[in-house]
């Protein structure tokens, strides 16, 4: 049984706060077409998708096997002694462009869209390719360090966020909500949205 108690505790304690994030100034700007990289990162931190401080990727719905097997006391997201980090499966630089082409009805509408398309993975930092995960540039397919094809119509990766990764370069990725490994050729935004609905119940 995967250790998911902390994730469930995080979402049960923060769920209402996150659900009320529609009132956050960052989302007011996003819904008005003023989309900033730093705003998305601040919101992701609010959702528990950060390694630093005491958060330690607590809100991450997806985690590599190397991260999962790393004992809690060895997890450090700070720059000095860092052993874990949060990988933005849909890069922020890509995510920041998409809302500019949409017209949101409200800040809450923008929040729903953001939660449904912000996919992140808790990974173990390191250079190795066996028992620890590689840096981001080595986890992804060539040419996708800062981009993804997930929003490109008719591309084979359209709607499939985990196809950005090269499975031979990182440990297995787990969906900790459903406690099963990710199939990158099948896992879609629809499944991610279903997972968000579960943790926000």
Output the pLDDT for position 140: 87
State percent of the chain over pLDDT 90.
41
Output the pLDDT for position 174: 95
| C-beta separation of 177 from 10 below 8 A | no
Q: How many structural domains does the chain have?
A: 1
More reliable by pLDDT, 184 or 45: 184
| 194 Cβ contact partners less than 8 Å away, ≥ 6 residues apart | none
Please state the pTM of the whole predicted model. 0.87
pLDDT in tens, 88-104: 999 999 999 888 888 88
Strand order in the sheet with 120-124: 84-88, 120-124, 62-64, 173-175, 180-181
Q: Please name every residue paired with 140 in a beta bridge, in sequence order, or none if there are none.
A: 165
Q: Which band of pLDDT confidence, cut at 50, 70 and 90, is reported for residue 1?
A: very low
pLDDT in tens, 30-66: 888 888 999 999 888 888 888 888 889 988 999 999 9
Give me the domain span that covers residue 117: 5-199
DSSP string, 169-196: GSPPEEETTTTEE--TTT--HHHHHHHH
Q: Please give the mean pLDDT across all residues of the chain.
A: 84
pLDDT in tens, 125-155: 863 344 444 454 478 888 888 889 999 999 9
| C-beta separation of 70 from 171 below 8 A | no
Burial of 100 (0-12, 13-18, 19+ CB in 10 A): exposed
State percent of the chain over pLDDT 70.
82
Please state, in angstroms and rounded to a whole number, the distance separating the CA atoms of residues 32 and 99. Answer: 10
Output the pLDDT for position 98: 87
């Amino acid at each position: 049984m995967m250790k998911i108690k902390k994730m469930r505790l995080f979402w049960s304690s923060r769920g209402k706060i996150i659900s009320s994030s529609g009132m956050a100034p960052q989302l007011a700007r996003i819904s008005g077409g003023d989309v900033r990289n730093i705003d998305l990162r601040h919101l992701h931190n609010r959702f528990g998708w950060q390694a630093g401080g005491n958060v330690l990727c607590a809100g991450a719905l997806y985690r590599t096997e190397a991260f999962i097997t790393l004992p809690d006391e060895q997890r450090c997201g700070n720059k000095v002694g860092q052993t874990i980090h949060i990988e933005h499966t849909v890069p922020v630089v890509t995510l920041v462009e998409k809302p500019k082409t949409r017209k949101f009805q409200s800040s809450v509408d923008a929040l729903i869209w953001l939660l449904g398309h912000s996919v992140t993975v808790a990974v173990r930092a390191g250079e190795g390719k066996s028992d620890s995960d590689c840096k981001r540039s080595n986890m992804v397919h060539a040419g996708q360090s800062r981009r993804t094809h997930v929003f490109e119509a008719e591309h084979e990766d359209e709607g499939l966020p985990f196809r950005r990764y090269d499975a031979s370069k990182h440990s297995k990725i787990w969906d900790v909500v459903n406690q099963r490994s990710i199939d990158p050729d099948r896992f879609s935004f629809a499944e991610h949205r279903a997972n968000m609905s579960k943790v926000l119940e």
